[in-house]
Amino acid sequence: MANGSENGRLNGNLRVLIVEDNPSDAELEIAELRRGGFNVASDLAQTRDEVSDHLAKNVYEVILADYNLPYFRGMETLDILREKGLSIPLILVTGALKSVTAVECVKQVATDYVLKENLTRLSVSVRRALEEARLRVERKRAQDELARKVDELARSNEDLEQFAYVASHDLQEPLRMVAAYTQLLAERYRGKLDDNADKYIGYAVEGAVRMQALIEDVLAFSRVGRNGHEHQATDCDSAVDEAIKNLTAAVQESGVTVTRSPLPILVADQVHLVHLFQNLIGNAIKFRGREPPVVKISAEKNGSEWLFTVADNGIGIAPEHKEFIFKIFQRLHTRSEYSGNGIGLAICRKIVEQHGGRIWVDSEAGQGSTFRFTLAAGPADKELGHETDTRDLISR
CB of 320 or CB of 392, closer to ligand ADP: 320
Q: Judged by CB under 6 A, which stretch of 96-104, 220-228, 279-287, 384-392 contacts ligand ADP?
A: 279-287
Query: Judging by DSSP bridges, how do beta strands 68-69 and 72-73 pair with one another?
Result: antiparallel
Member of 344, 357, 359, 373 binding ligand ADP (CB under 6 A): 344
Nearest to 377 by CA among 307, 277, 296: 307
CB of 6 to ligand ADP, least distance (A): 52
Residue 312, classified by CB atoms within 10 Å of its CB into exposed (0-12), middle (13-18) or buried (19+), is: buried
317 counts as binding ligand ADP under rule CB under 6 A? yes
CB of 321 to ligand ADP, least distance (A): 7
Please compute, for residue 171, the number of CA atoms within 13 A of its CA located in the half-sphere on the CB side. Answer: 16
293 counts as binding ligand ADP under rule CB under 6 A? no
Query: Distance from first CA to last CA of the chain, Å, rounded?
Result: 76
User: What b/e string do you get for 343-379 counting C-beta neighbours within 10 Å, with b at 16 or more?
Assistant: bbbbbbbbbbeebebebebbbeeeebbbbebbbebbe
Taking CB under 6 A as the criterion, which residues in 108-167 touch ligand ADP?
A: none
CA–CA distance, 143 with 65 (Å, rounded to integer): 31
CB of 334 to ligand ADP, least distance (A): 10
278 counts as binding ligand ADP under rule CB under 6 A? no
CB of 333 to ligand ADP, least distance (A): 5
Measured at the CA of 43, the angle between CA 138 and CA 22, to 5 degrees, comes to: 120
Query: Judging by DSSP bridges, how do beta strands 265-268 and 232-235 pair with one another?
Result: antiparallel
Q: Judged by CB under 6 A, which stretch of 40-48, 157-165, 263-271, 333-341 contacts ligand ADP?
A: 333-341
Please compute, for residue 320, the number of CA atoms within 13 A of its CA located in the half-sphere on the CB side. Answer: 1
CA–CA distance, 83 with 62 (Å, rounded to integer): 17
Q: Tell me the residue number closest to ligand ADP, measured at CB.
A: 340
Member of 8, 228, 262, 340 binding ligand ADP (CB under 6 A): 340
CA–CA distance, 345 with 279 (Å, rounded to integer): 7
CB of 36 or CB of 357, closer to ligand ADP: 357
Member of 15, 54, 260, 331 binding ligand ADP (CB under 6 A): 331
335 counts as binding ligand ADP under rule CB under 6 A? no
332 counts as binding ligand ADP under rule CB under 6 A? yes
374 counts as binding ligand ADP under rule CB under 6 A? no
Q: Judged by CB under 6 A, which stretch of 32-40, 48-56, 137-145, 338-346 contacts ligand ADP?
A: 338-346
Taking CB under 6 A as the criterion, which residues in 218-237 touch ligand ADP?
A: none
369 counts as binding ligand ADP under rule CB under 6 A? yes
CB of 345 to ligand ADP, least distance (A): 3
CB of 329 to ligand ADP, least distance (A): 8
Q: 202 Cβ partners below 8 Å, 6+ apart?
A: 186
Q: Judged by CB under 6 A, which stretch of 25-33, 58-66, 126-134, 280-288 contacts ligand ADP?
A: 280-288
Site for ligand ADP (CB under 6 A): how many residues?
A: 21
CB of 211 to ligand ADP, least distance (A): 16
CB of 287 to ligand ADP, least distance (A): 3
Please compute, for residue 8, the number of CA atoms within 13 A of its CA located in the half-sphere on the CB side. Answer: 18
Cross-strand pairs, 122: none
**8-state DSSP, 305:** E
351 counts as binding ligand ADP under rule CB under 6 A? no
Q: Can you list the alpha helix ranges (DSSP code H) found in 190-247?
A: 195-226, 236-246
The footprint of ligand ADP (CB under 6 A) covers 279, 283-284, 287, 312, 314-317, 325, 331-333, 340-346, 369
